[in-house]
Amino acid sequence: MNDRAALGLLLEYGPLSRSRIGKLTGLSKPTASQLLVRLEAAGLVVATGTTEGRPGPGAQLYTVNPRAAFAAGLDVSPRRIRAAVADLTGTVVGEYELATGRVRAAGAVQQVTDALDAAAGSAGLTRSDIHRLVIGTPGAFDPSTGQLRYASHLPGWHSTTLLDELAAALPMPFELENDVNLVAVAEQRLGAARGHDDFVLLWNEEGLGGALVIGGRLHRGFTGGAGEVGFLPVPGTPLIRQVTRANSGGFQELAGAQELPKLARKLGVRAIGGGHYTLVAPQLVAQASAADDGPFRALLETYATALATGLASVVAVLDPELVVLAGEAITSGGEPLRARVQAELTELAAPRPKLVMAGVPEQPVLRGALESALATTRDDVFDTSAR
């Protein structure tokens, strides 16, 4: 327990001296010294310089050995796979982005290994150097069938043998997790949800989805479908049946990023350029949030009402402490959009959780995958060394 506590402090604070570790843990200097000897012999800590600026000789500083283990994360979307490798301290040491297309299941496995190998290679590592891998995808893998659900727009990932093929190709333990769940992991550990055990995250980018954290833990549901709020029936949209086949639903059709260009045209907003809706939608929302009146202001108000309409059903069931708004189609609206959604939600729902914008703006799915892989890697490495 003392060893784990010291390693946690070194990860949190960076290089520490023997006496500082003793003060933070409450251990005596001899006990702290013995602890550091054990950890250094196990290859988990290394000496790194001395304290300076004080009278007398500097005290030896110690830090977690970053090369004691490596973890990797993948962010999979229909058009690309982003891969990253981090050392034990969480520092990203290798990255790669692989463009993808419509592929068979075997192609999906090959793309995973290609992306992972390239990211590892950029750090001077090989696939076998990775202790654990977490792969983020849209939808979720049903634990009872091993098949991907709620993501018909992700080609090549629906084979009944995909998990077995990945296990055969990958030398390390791996986990597949919903991409929005991983955004929630990133926000809980690094962003706006730090210190909160009960929160909802609403994501709007490639698709509209949610993540639920209850009692500090992700709630995935029986088939992994908890948080698939894009399928939620809401007022203002037709009732869609067989939603998983259509990959659509009420809330998605009301407030999804793909609807923003259509809504803008209806309100008389002039086109602001072409491209995929994931690029156009954030631009529209950013301009709408900066407008004082006119069609852009109407777009902001209509969009805020649409977001609050779906959120009203979610918070009525869960009554969360906090709602984190994430994804470029939301965060590009900044405080004007957040405040408007908060005001609308206050009128539409009895619970009144605090709404905040996401605090991890850069590649949050990938960051969440790395944080998840690192947490398990640290547990494995630290526990193995203790034994």
Q: What is the pLDDT of residues 108-163, one digit of tens each?
A: 899 999 999 999 999 999 999 999 999 999 988 888 888 888 777 788 888 888 99
Distance CA 25, CA 86 (A): 27
Instruction: Identify the CATH class of 68-182+365-386.
Output: alpha beta
Confidence category of residue 257, pLDDT binned at 50, 70, 90 = very high
Residue 102 has a pLDDT of 59
Q: At what angle do helices 294-318 and 334-348 cross, to 10 degrees?
A: 50
Minimum mean pLDDT range among 18-27, 66-75, 294-303, 328-337: 18-27
Q: What's the mean pLDDT when you consider all of the chain?
A: 90
Region 169-181: mean pLDDT is 95
Region 179-202: mean pLDDT is 96
Confidence category of residue 70, pLDDT binned at 50, 70, 90 = very high
- Would you tell me how many other CB atoms lie within 10 Å of the CB of residue 350? 9
Q: Is the pLDDT of residue 276 over 80?
A: no
Q: Domain boundaries in the chain?
A: 2-64, 68-182+365-386, 195-359
Minimum mean pLDDT range among 24-28, 98-102, 189-193, 202-206: 98-102
Confidence category of residue 3, pLDDT binned at 50, 70, 90 = confident
* Residue 253 exposure: Cα atoms within 13 Å on the Cβ side: 16
Distance CA 361, CA 236 (A): 31
Query: What fold characterizes domain 195-359?
Result: Nucleotidyltransferase; domain 5 (3.30.420)
Contact between 177 and 197 (Cβ < 8 Å) = no
Residue 55 has a pLDDT of 45
**Domain 195-359 in the same topology as domain 68-182+365-386:** yes
Distance CA 95, CA 72 (A): 10
**If you search the block for the tokens 């000897």, which residue do you land on?**
37
Predicted TM-score of the model (pTM): 0.91
Cβ-proximal residues to 378 (8 Å cutoff; 6+ apart), any chain: 7, 11, 69, 88
Residue 349 has a pLDDT of 95
Q: Is the pLDDT of residue 333 over 90?
A: yes
Residue 30 has a pLDDT of 86
Best CATH choice for the domain 2-64 from the list 3.40.50.2300, 1.10.10.60, 3.40.50.300, 1.10.10.10: 1.10.10.10
Residue 54 has a pLDDT of 53
Q: Is the pLDDT of residue 377 over 90?
A: yes
Q: Is the pLDDT of residue 246 over 70?
A: no
Residue 56 has a pLDDT of 44
Q: Which is higher by pLDDT, 128 or 31?
A: 128
Minimum mean pLDDT range among 4-18, 78-92, 194-208, 243-257: 243-257
Region 212-218: mean pLDDT is 96
Residue 382 has a pLDDT of 83
Q: Which is higher by pLDDT, 70 or 78?
A: 70
Residue 123 has a pLDDT of 96
Q: Is the pLDDT of residue 99 over 70?
A: yes
Region 37-52: mean pLDDT is 86
